[in-house]
Amino acid sequence: MLSGIHGYFNSAGKKNYDIYISRFPRDAAGFIPLYTKDLPENTVLRVYAVGGDGILFDCLNGLVNFENAELGAIPYGHTNNYIRGFGKNEKRFFRNIARQVDSVSIPMDILRCGSNYALNYCVIGLEAEAVRYSERLRDKMDMNNPFNQWLYNNFYNAYYISGGIFACFDKRIRRQKYEITVDGKVYSEDGWGFSIFNGPYYGGSWHPINDAKPNDGILDMHFILGRRFLHTYSKFPFYLSGSKKLIPKIIFPLRGEKIKIRSADILKVCLDDNTFYESELDVEILPGGIRFIDASQHGYRGICND
């Protein structure tokens, strides 16, 4: 991939570019602000994240305070949830370097979650623990082995589901009490967790909230009540496919612009496939918070492309 990038820019006579190889999670988030300090005033900076949702998250957090920033995604990760909303067959267009360079950027909403920013989703509780458990399973594998890399990239959903099964047996997760304030209205309930979506997809192809769009200035939310363990767990396939059959039996839907989440216990949080632990969390939508490079054929389509 890197040779292809070098080859395009050199053959096109475009010399004003740099390539940075991220060494560890959050590395790019720290490097990009340092890079922007030496740029002339009013420079338009395009940053292309090559990989999956993790590196896209890092680049967003590095760029978010730069006034003339444009963010692009060149999808080579085990999940590329954000660009999935542009169409399920659009990867080949987003992988085309010439097309990326020639494409325009469009304003898209982003989430501010405490001191971090996300493009796609914020999940708290069971779903965040499922990601953490799946990462622990991955860490036990030798990822220098090409077969293990292929196995994890192609069967990520199976690792996530396995992580969810382990998490379900933790009573502290299933019975955590949350106080949630949405645009000033307070809700207090025991539950499995809370999901906030700016776009419909996560886990590669799952879409719990079909109506979520990253350009409508609103956050779509689900509070997973989980009052009965076996009943709730048996309904999760419907939840992942966005079925309305779950509502209002185990899912309490909400919409809003600003959310406060509090709990007596630590909040387990996952933002765009990155896990964190917080004592409390304030989340808000930032309409048009980033300009995203649209290399697709027909623009953002959301869930309608399935």
- 15 C-beta neighbours (distance < 10 Å), count: 7
Q: What is the pLDDT of residue 179?
A: 92
Q: What's the CATH number of domain 121-288, 2.60.200.40, 3.40.1010.10, 3.40.50.300, 3.30.300.170? A: 2.60.200.40
Q: Which residue has the higher pLDDT, 166 or 268?
A: 268
Q: Is the pLDDT of residue 303 over 90?
A: no
Strand partners, 183: none
For the CA atoms of the chain, what is the radius of gyration?
19
State yes or no: cis peptide before 248, omega within 30 of 0.
yes
Residues of the chain with CATH 2.60.200.40: 121-288
Which pLDDT belongs to residue 165? 74
Q: Indicate the pTM of the whole model.
A: 0.89
Q: Return d(Cα 142, Cα 122) in angstroms, integer.
A: 29
Overall average pLDDT of the 176-190 stretch: 90
Is the pLDDT score of 148 beyond 90?
no
Residues 263/177, Cβ–Cβ less than 8 Å: yes
Among 100, 99, 46, CA closest to 68 = 46
- Mean pLDDT rounded to a whole number for the chain: 86
Which pLDDT value is given to residue 240? Answer: 80
Question: What CATH number is given for 2-109+289-305 in this structure?
Answer: 3.40.50.10330
249 has pLDDT over 80: no
pLDDT, average across residues 84-98: 92
Residue intervals of the chain classified under CATH 3.40.50.10330 are: 2-109+289-305
Say if strands 105-113 and 176-182 run parallel, antiparallel, or are unpaired. unpaired
What's residue 286's pLDDT? Answer: 97
pLDDT at 124: 93
Name the band, by pLDDT with cuts 50, 70 and 90, for residue 304.
low
Q: Which amino acid is at 89?
A: N
